[in-house]
Amino acid sequence: MEKTELPFLSATELSRLIKSREVSPVEATEAYLERIEAVDGKLNSYITVCREEALAEARRAEEEIASGGYRGPMHGVPVAVKDQFHTKGIRTTGGTTILKDFVPSEDATVMANLKKSGAVLLGKLNMSEYAMGDAFQHPYGRPRNPWDLSRNPGTSSSGSGAATAAFLCATSLGEDTGGSIRGPAAFCGLVGIRPTWGRVSRYGVLGASWSMDAVGPISRTAADCAMTL
């Protein structure tokens, strides 16, 4: 399989090929980074691309899998997350320029769990400012729907919808307070899960409404959503 074809696999298909060592995590990560560079200028789905960090994580995953240390289905799979979740050593903006230089000293629990699973973080995804629902204000550039660049990819997890639909990550995380996973999934022809409140930890998540916020996956298939969750 050509490297340029890898981003078009479902996350579950890519996971199977990584486990069998038919595809390396480094090869998959490089393929996604190259596609982000080529395509995202039109979409504005990413706020921060973690190129060097992603390649380092991919090399670590490849070494672990080769030595028999396979962690499970997310191991080596390139993912991206809404820029609402604290990421240790990587800026977390919440979609606002007020936090443009904020670099957390610890990970949100969802990020810690992704690291434990061996997933590769490609970067932090665009969102409406402070996750304000259907507000169309995006200080880091308005994200575009990859199916029609004149259209909205949904809010507030705008980048999660756009990047996943445009094959710029294998699967993604969004956050839903009043529809911000379900909306982008519907707008972009994807699958999204808003988990039961409390099913997924909100620790380290920049809150919109603490009694309603829920973190969950936005993916291209139901199986991909289940694997990510």
Bridge partners of residue 124, in order along the sequence: 48, 81
How many Å apart are CA 4 and CA 27, to the nearest integer? 10
Contacts of 63 (CB under 8 A, 6+ apart): none
Pick the catalytic residue from 15, 128, 158, 180: 180
Pick the catalytic residue from 82, 124, 128, 160: 82
Catalytic residue check, 82: yes
Pick the catalytic residue from 156, 157, 160, 172: 156
Catalytic residue check, 180: yes
Contacts of 188 (CB under 8 A, 6+ apart): 145, 146, 147, 153, 154, 161, 162, 164, 165
Catalytic residue check, 15: no
Residue 29: both structure tokens together: 């990560």
Q: Widest CA span of the chain, in angstroms?
A: 48
Candidates 107, 143, 137, 126; CA nearest to 46 is: 126
Between CA 79 and CA 87, with CA 85 as vertex, the angle to 5 degrees is 75
Give the chain's end-to-end CA distance (angstroms, integer).
28
Amino acid in position 26: V
* Side-by-side strand order, sheet with 120-125: 46-49, 120-125, 78-82, 171-176, 214-219, 191-192
Please identify every residue annotated as catalytic.
82, 156, 180
